[in-house]
Chain A
Amino acid sequence: MKKKLAKILAATLTMSVLLTGCGGSGSDGGKKEESVGDSKGSETAEITEDVTKTEGEINVWTNLSQEEMNFYVEEFNKIVPGVKVTVTVMPSKEYRTKLQNAFRTGTNAPDVATFEVSDLGVYKETDMLENLSQDQYGAEDISKDMIPYVDELSRDKEGNIKGLSWQSTPGGFWYKKALAREYLGTDDPEELYNMLSDWDKIVEVGKQVYEKSEGKIALLDDVESVLQFYASYKGQAWVDENNHIIGDDYLLEMYEMMDTVVSNHVDAESDMWSAGWTSGMYSNDMFILTCLPTWGLNFCIKPGIPENEMDKAADTWGYMQAPIPYQNGGTWYGMYSKSENKDAAWAWIKTMTSNEDYLVNGLADTWGDFPGYIPAIERCIEEGHTDIVTGDQEYFADFYETAKNVKGDPMTKYDRQAWTSAGAQMDLVATGQATPEEAVKGFKEEMKNIYPEIEIE
């Protein structure tokens, strides 16, 4: 009996080992093949010069919305009909780990993937992403015409281009025109900019708005606008190459500003990204300004407006430059270095990031996004790009002005957590549970706790 039992168990074990083994050898096999493909690929990958004539098939992985991707694929196939694009959309939370696993093992890895700016910062330093600076691609020719900070963030430490972005995301203030007229006396972006050209002025004006409205309206939406602003314009990384965390002066200034903003009722305490905050975009009058980059219009303001009331919402919002040019967010395309479809993958990346007609007529005019490719931006400005919600304001010119002056902060693996930790301390400051000094200390301690290699003084 024992023998039989042993046999059965052995058989079971063998089967399970076989199964796991299958998985293992499958991935290894994939790797080999792909690494063969890779060595061929990097040296002899034939890239069709005129990408519109490229033929093939690619898999694109993304955490963008299905609707957005459908739009991109449709536009792409108008220009490059020979490439079949299969898109896999995943929720952000799964996306990062799945992509990492796929790239690492080579099993069913996509040819092209989208990367949020902070993730690109991590991936671009690995050999998982194809070096697009190689001659056969000609990404250098494209990137030289990109907004300078976009070009900068696309490059790894050696200066090689590891991804390209279709957008640039400079930021400023978006304001509700009717409230601006009522409480600030004007809705002209120039005049408003002069009125709010530094934080001291913003606080002063904020106090006046609060008094004038008897506490009903605030100048800013939420104290997080202060974080958006400061964290997007640091001029340095959160943690530098020697593991030193950003200086106390910067952090203290930020938390003191948050404290000042809250204690003077400059913000409406609307809790950025919450349902209450979104309702403040249209149905509720709570605040005049919100500190958001280019995508704020499409992803934050418009979602607060019911579809059937878009006409009523016409010409209700304006865009003005912030005291300092900053940028926030942005998504890049990167090519998997072991992809077997590099020709088609390049056709996608090149078309989506630098095809002028598509960027102007598709991305900007239909989708409402602000490109990163300067020739396209200039054409949009020439053609007078506007949006129903912002009336006849040609805000792309202001975006462009801001974008040119943005200094791209280096993106590292610490960015995601730094934003989170900075935000957590902000909540404590805003609710009076911590002083700015305690918040600085709390921020540094939390970062050190999560990344023990960080050095704090």
Chain B
Amino acid sequence: MSAISKKRKRSKINKSNAGYFFIAPYLIVFLVFTLYPILYTFKLSFTSWDGFGEQQFVGLANYTRLIHDPMFIKSIGNTIFIALLAMIPQMVFGLVLAFLLNQKRLRGSNFFKTVFYFPNLVTAVSLGVLFSLLFDWKVGSVNQMLMSLHWISEPINWKGSEILSQLIVAVVLFWQYFGYYTIIFTAGIRGIPYELFEAAEVDGAKKTQIFFRIVLPLMRPIMTFAFVTSIIGGLQIFDLPYTFGGATGGTNSSLLTMVMYMYNIAFTNLDYGYGAAISYGLFVIIIVFSIIFMKYTTGKKEQY
């Protein structure tokens, strides 16, 4: 008996070992193309290197510079502002729409879900160029439309204003991603046992009560996921502000995000060492934000 169970155990172990072979291709690719560059970037961040000569070890100089760099600090502010400005309505809209689209009486909910998801299929670069043309000061359709409606008499210099350009980028980001979160949240709502809704209805709960008392609390894990991925994505925005406002980040660098700054320093000005340090600064900031969001969203869960 014991011999058989031992054998079984062993064969089980053998089976699980085979799994390592299966993950090996990914693991190798990960080690070579992800982990190695991450570690190499870390090493680079302690050097001064323009890509031509030898790398010179400079200790913590790049990090000291980073902390005192007003442009980097500004880029953090810009990024967080734009990311939050896009993220909050994304979440609210996504959640409300998902709830509405899950009402059993609503017809054609799949159609709406598909339509809401469409903007997500367009690449950010095309959106940047498209909106850049739409909001062009002189020939942009938006100004021409507003003027023909006599809502404004002089064209508005959208891109000339810091706050307006940040708003436009945030609105485009919101528009691009709210469909994605609608889908994610729909899946979340579908995961809630139907009996709970039925019981609530039997008890005479209103739609709003169902939303706040059942949907929201039970959606917390999904919302944590959505918040964290959204903040990680939001803090790394690059292509949209880059194509909309130009490489320098538009007027007074109001659209200069952290990744754009890193790109400009490392690949335009060929200061790889400092660029690597910015990457690690970005890494720390994203970790901090992710932890805050995870704590906040999962922390409350325990109350229920």
Given contacts A104-B51, A126-B52, contact A96 B267 (CB under 8 A): yes
B120 at interface by CB-CB < 8 Å? no
**Contact (Cβ within 8 A) A4 B17:** yes
**Chain B residues near A16 (CB-CB < 8 A):** 27-28, 31-32
**Contact (Cβ within 8 A) A12 B52:** no
**Chain A residues near B136 (CB-CB < 8 A):** 271, 274-276
For window 13-34 of chain B, which residues contact chain A by CB distance below 8 Å? 13, 17, 20-21, 24, 27-28, 31-32
**Contact (Cβ within 8 A) A449 B253:** no
A424 at interface by CB-CB < 8 Å? yes
**Contact (Cβ within 8 A) A433 B251:** yes
A20 and B157 CA atoms in complex are apart in Å by 51
**Chain B residues near A101 (CB-CB < 8 A):** 51
B139 at interface by CB-CB < 8 Å? yes
Q: Which of A175-183, A295-303, A413-421 contacts B (4 or more CB under 8 A)?
A: A413-421
**Chain B residues near A13 (CB-CB < 8 A):** 31
Q: How far is the CB of B71 from chain A (nearest CB, A)?
A: 5
Given contacts A271-B136, A417-B269, A446-B71, contact A15 B52 (CB under 8 A): no
For window 236-294 of chain B, which residues contact chain A by CB distance below 8 Å? 247-248, 251-253, 265, 267-271
A8 and B16 CA atoms in complex are apart in Å by 12
Q: How far is the CB of B262 from chain A (nearest CB, A)?
A: 12
Chain B minimum-CB-distance residue to A430: B160
A452 and B61 CA atoms in complex are apart in Å by 11
B218 at interface by CB-CB < 8 Å? no
**Chain B residues near A276 (CB-CB < 8 A):** 136-140
A413 and B51 CA atoms in complex are apart in Å by 12
1/0 per position for A266-292, CB-CB distance to B under 8 A? 000111001110010000101000000
**Chain A residues near B28 (CB-CB < 8 A):** 12, 15-16, 19
Cβ-Cβ contact count across A and B, 8 Å cutoff: 98
A9 at interface by CB-CB < 8 Å? yes
**Contact (Cβ within 8 A) B251 A416:** no
Given contacts A5-B17, A275-B133, A413-B50, contact A12 B24 (CB under 8 A): yes
**Contact (Cβ within 8 A) A12 B251:** no
1/0 per position for B37-54, CB-CB distance to A under 8 A? 000000000000011110
For window 1-58 of chain A, which residues contact chain B by CB distance below 8 Å? 1, 4-5, 8-9, 11-13, 15-16, 19-20
Which range holds the interface residue count of chain B?
Answer: 35 or more
**Contact (Cβ within 8 A) B253 A424:** yes
**Contact (Cβ within 8 A) B252 A433:** yes
A278 and B36 CA atoms in complex are apart in Å by 45
B195 at interface by CB-CB < 8 Å? no
1/0 per position for A414-453, CB-CB distance to B under 8 A? 0011001101100110010100000000000010011110
A104 and B28 CA atoms in complex are apart in Å by 26
B70 at interface by CB-CB < 8 Å? yes
A100 at interface by CB-CB < 8 Å? yes
**Contact (Cβ within 8 A) B52 A417:** no
**Contact (Cβ within 8 A) B138 A271:** yes
Q: How far is the CB of A61 from chain B (nearest CB, A)?
A: 16
For window 55-80 of chain B, which residues contact chain A by CB distance below 8 Å? 65, 69-71
A12 and B139 CA atoms in complex are apart in Å by 58
Interface residues of A (CB under 8 A from B): 1, 4-5, 8-9, 11-13, 15-16, 19-20, 93, 96-97, 100-101, 104, 122, 126, 128, 269-271, 274-276, 279, 284, 286, 413, 416-417, 420-421, 423-424, 427-428, 431, 433, 446, 449-452
With A12-B24, A423-B248 given, name 15 new contacts (CB 8 A).
A12-B27, A15-B24, A16-B27, A16-B28, A16-B31, A19-B32, A100-B51, A122-B52, A271-B136, A271-B137, A276-B139, A279-B139, A413-B269, A427-B160, A450-B269
Cross-chain pairs A/B with CB under 8 angstroms, 7 sampled: A12-B28, A12-B31, A16-B31, A271-B138, A274-B138, A276-B138, A449-B71
